[in-house]
Chains A and B, each alone.
Chain A
Amino acid sequence: MRDDLQYNESGGLRHLLSIEGLGREQILQILDLAESFAVLPGRQVKKVPLLRGRIVTNLFFENSTRTRTTFELAAKLLSADVINFNVSVSATSKGETLLDTLRNLEAMHSDLFVVRHQHSGAAHFIARHVSPGVSVINAGDGWHAHPTQALLDMFTIRRHKGDFTPLRVAIVGDIQHSRVARSQILALNTLGVTEVRIVGPCTLLPAEARTLGVHLYHDLDAGLEGVDVIIMLRLQRERMDSALLPSAHEYFQLYGLTEARLERAKSDAIVMHPGPINRGVEIASEVADGPRSVILQQVSHGIAVRMAVMSLILGARGGETE
């Protein structure tokens, strides 16, 4: 997958498809910009007129409430108009091809597509076929990437920890099927953390793990020893149906994050989760609701980070004439 697709001729961000290809400076620039948007909720008028007159289309081929809602809110806080196009109950089920759907939405003068799709590479495919002047943000494609989730996680980590370089981060759970984990690993390594660990059963850790620049742990207690940040991933039910795991109960016994296990991490470690959480499966309620949990902050930060990405992308188009 080519990721030079992400940039326009003058080096501005045209699409955001993957963390791959983003440098440290570019990630930090997005986080800095997000800080400026993060102060808006404290004001009487919470929106800014930056994208007034622009149209953002949420193109979701896969269900998602949180991600779609935060993208919608981010676009609205930038004063853009938003169309929500839920494809699973729409044209595709009537036999329309992806390209035809796209052409129709372009005919409605959309400036930006926010795409979620069950197949890896779908956002790249759409980015290759959109008209000049139209941009794409990948809101999750198959097992491949979910770059805005990784960026909001980096934003959350930076708010709590400041500097990335001394950090040890453990990502726990189903790494193999997680686009979130892939994007997080890329972002953490680009930002130069000391260590990224992935923790989970053999069946859920990717075969190519060693090339990702991470350390593998099959034992949760060992994997949490001395870490600054714990990222729990949602265990998807369908993994158990496909016989990769015995039962939710057994998974919790081995890989569920409990207060006792949290003791292994540093005393100021934070607990993150991209949501939705499964209480009693990958995380105990007392941890999810506990003082170390920053799970709800992640949701708020998601709005500011998505505002930053949208304004950079839609601003970069103007930058071509500079």
Chain B
Amino acid sequence: MTGRIFMQHEAILDLIQGMARLARHKLELLGRKKPVLVGIHTGGVWVAHRLQPLLEVEEPLGELDISFYRDDFTRIGMNPQVRPSRIPFEVEGRHIILVDDVIQSGRTVRAAMNEIFDFGRPASILLVTLIERSGRELPIQPDVAGLHPPLADDEHIRLEGPDPLVLRIGRRAGPRETT
């Protein structure tokens, strides 16, 4: 993997601690009890795993691979590394905390919400991302974001993991990804 390290494991865990505090606060204000966690493959699942004990979520994590819901399937085709999406609880009527590593265009989150609704109708969805960066193409904003790093348009940031977690910034080669 090329690019410079932006943040190391311990600092990322501190960041996630802060995110958990903020998320708990928001949930309390909104009166949302007994939330469940859904992570988006792959980075979102790692972050959701770290959030799970901090938010005292006892139910197992949901994991979404949104490959079947992408809006760019006709342009980039099937992702051969797709993994089964698993939501090991009833979605119907639940308060969901949706977790991703990076939000940029907002397209991944749109796809993830479409997929969640195919499992059932949740009572609410709270969006939590580790990184919020510029480049939104859809009206979707995180409720809780760990960090807003200043990035040039041709720079991209990615989370590596799961252990240790590392955030790395690189130069974009080729066409832009939709994250």
Contact = CB atoms under 8 A, between A and B. Distances in A.
Interface of A: 12, 29, 32-33, 35-36, 38-39, 43-45, 47-50, 311-312, 315-319, 321-322
Given A48-B118, A49-B114, A39 B78 contact: no
- Listed from nearest, the 8 A-B pairs whose CB atoms lie closest are A315-B78, A315-B77, A45-B118, A319-B77, A48-B68, A39-B84, A318-B77, A36-B84
B82 interface: yes
Interface in B32-80: 65, 67-69, 73-78, 80
A43 B84 contact: no
B73 A50 contact: yes
Interface of B: 65, 67-69, 73-78, 80, 82-86, 91-92, 114-115, 117-120
A243 B123 CA distance: 68
Nearest to A53: B74
B84 A44 contact: no
B120 A318 contact: no
Given A48-B68, A50-B73, A312 B84 contact: no
Contact of A36 (B74, B77, B82, B114): B82
A32 B92 CA distance: 29
Contacts, number: 62
Given A43-B119, A44-B118, A316 B84 contact: no
Given A43-B119, A45-B118, A35 B76 contact: no
Nearest to A44: B120
Which of B68, B77, B118, B119: most chain A Cβ within 10 A?
A: B77
B118 A312 contact: no
Given A36-B68, A50-B68, A43 B75 contact: no
Given A43-B119, A44-B118, A48-B118, A36 B73 contact: no
Given A36-B65, A316-B77, A319-B77, A43 B118 contact: yes
Nearest to B82: A36
Contacts of B69: 48-50
B177 to A, nearest CB: 12
B77 A322 contact: yes
Contacts of A12: 77
B82 A321 contact: no
Nearest to B81: A32
Contacts of B82: 32-33, 36
Given A33-B80, A33-B82, A49-B114, A318 B75 contact: yes
A239 to B, nearest CB: 40
16 contacts: A32-B80, A32-B82, A33-B82, A35-B84, A36-B82, A36-B85, A38-B84, A45-B119, A49-B68, A49-B114, A312-B78, A315-B73, A318-B73, A318-B76, A319-B76, A322-B76
A233 to B, nearest CB: 32
Contacts of B76: 315, 318-319, 322
